[in-house]
Amino acid sequence: MKTIVAATVLNSVVALGFIALAMPVHAAVPCEEMLKEMRTAKGSAKLSDADMKKVEDLETKAVERCNADDDRRSDKFLAEAMQIMGK
């Protein structure tokens, strides 16, 4: 009987481990939402020409990644742009 219980517990632990591996470690924010936030911030940002160029380049990269359904990388570019704007 102890063997059956031990085997059941072990199987449950293994099954939970596989479920945990299948789940994303960090769920990305939908890039469309983050893009809206960044564009709103950009509209009121007071940036030097060089910083605005960096933000616009990051926005272009983010849109490209967003269109490719790569939200995680898109969000990374947008977060970097927000950081330049001090947001």
Domain ranges of the chain: 31-84
| Span 15-47, pLDDT tens digits | 444 444 444 444 567 999 999 999 999 999 999
Mean pLDDT, rounded, for 8-12? 49
Is the per-residue pLDDT at 2 higher than 70? Answer: no
Is 63:78 a contact under the CB 8 Å cutoff? no
- How far is it, in rounded angstroms, from Cα 87 to Cα 79? 9
